[in-house]
Structures are given as C-alpha cells and as structure tokens.
C-alpha cells in the first residue's frame, strides 16, 4: 500500500504510522460506542432516569449522577456518541452509571433486565471487538 508511493522510506513509514494510528482510533471508538450502546439498550426503563445516567468520560470516571430522563435511549445514545468523538487510542475510557440502585439492577432486581446489563455486555466483549475490527479492516 505504501511501497508504491513516492518519497523516502522514512516518509513512507511516517505515512503508515499515521494510517495505523487513525485505524486504531476508529476501532477503539467503535468498541467503546458498541459497549455503551449495549449497556444503554439493555437498561431497564421505568422513569428513564437510570438509562439516562450512563455517562462516558475520558481519563477519570464521572462521579455524579444526572438529573435527566430518557424513555427510549435516543438522547442518551446521541450524547454518548458525541462524547466519544474526541477519544483516541491509548486513552482510558469510562462508562459509568452512578445511581445508587444501579448495582441492584445489575444483579437482577428488575424484571426488564434480570441478567443485568454490564454482565451481558462483558460476555459479548470479544464479539464486539471482532465486529469493530471487521468494520474497520478496509
């Protein structure tokens, strides 16, 4: 791919490095978005507050809860995807829900999500990574 380009070998290596970093960023963002979408879409909805409290941050986990609701996940997913945009490979991404009843919900205290949200997503982690790699392999 880069061997046929004009220029010095170091320029070709530099071009490949930039290409590889861009691809790594794409795959990493895709994995994070798919994980976030999974826990959001698996979340039980009563008032919509729990679903709306899934928060994405870079570098440190969020430590507050939000005073928002979302009955169908559209607002939460849109916010989540928007917040993931500046993420780059190598940064630490956090997806948290700080509502006090989150742990009981994760452990089956909801008929809507008896198997939790995080456990199911974690069980699908390799599948999520493989899908992201396949989508960005071109």
Name which of 83, 79, 102 is nearest 93 in CA terms: 83
Please state the rounded mean pLDDT for residues 35-45: 97
Average pLDDT, the chain: 94
Q: How far is residue 22's CA from residue 127's CA, in Å, rounded to a whole number? A: 22
Residue 13: predicted pLDDT: 87
pLDDT value of position 6 = 61
At 60-108, the pLDDT tens digits run: 999 999 999 999 999 999 999 999 999 999 999 999 999 999 999 999 9
Q: Residue 60 and residue 92: Cα distance in Å, rounded? A: 8
Q: What percent of the chain has pLDDT over 70?
A: 95
pLDDT grade, residue 7 (50/70/90)? low
Question: Is residue 10 over pLDDT 90?
Answer: no
Q: CA 69, CA 66: separation in Å to the nearest integer?
A: 9
Q: How far apart are CA 104 and CA 131, in angstroms?
A: 30
């Amino acid at each position: 791919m880069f061997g046929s380009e004009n220029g010095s070998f170091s320029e070709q290596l530099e071009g490949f490095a930039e290409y590889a970093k861009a691809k790594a960023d794409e795959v990493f963002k895709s994995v994070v978005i798919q994980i976030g979408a999974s826990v959001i879409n698996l979340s039980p909805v009563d008032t919509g507050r729990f679903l709306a409290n899934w928060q994405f941050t870079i570098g440190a986990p969020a430590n507050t809860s939000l005073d928002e609701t979302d009955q169908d996940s559209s607002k939460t997913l849109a916010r989540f995807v928007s917040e993931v945009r500046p993420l780059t490979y190598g940064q630490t991404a956090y997806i948290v829900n700080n509502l006090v009843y989150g742990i009981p919900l994760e452990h089956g205290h909801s008929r809507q999500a008896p198997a939790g949200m995080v456990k199911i997503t974690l069980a699908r982690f390799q599948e999520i990574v493989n899908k992201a790699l396949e989508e960005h392999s071109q």
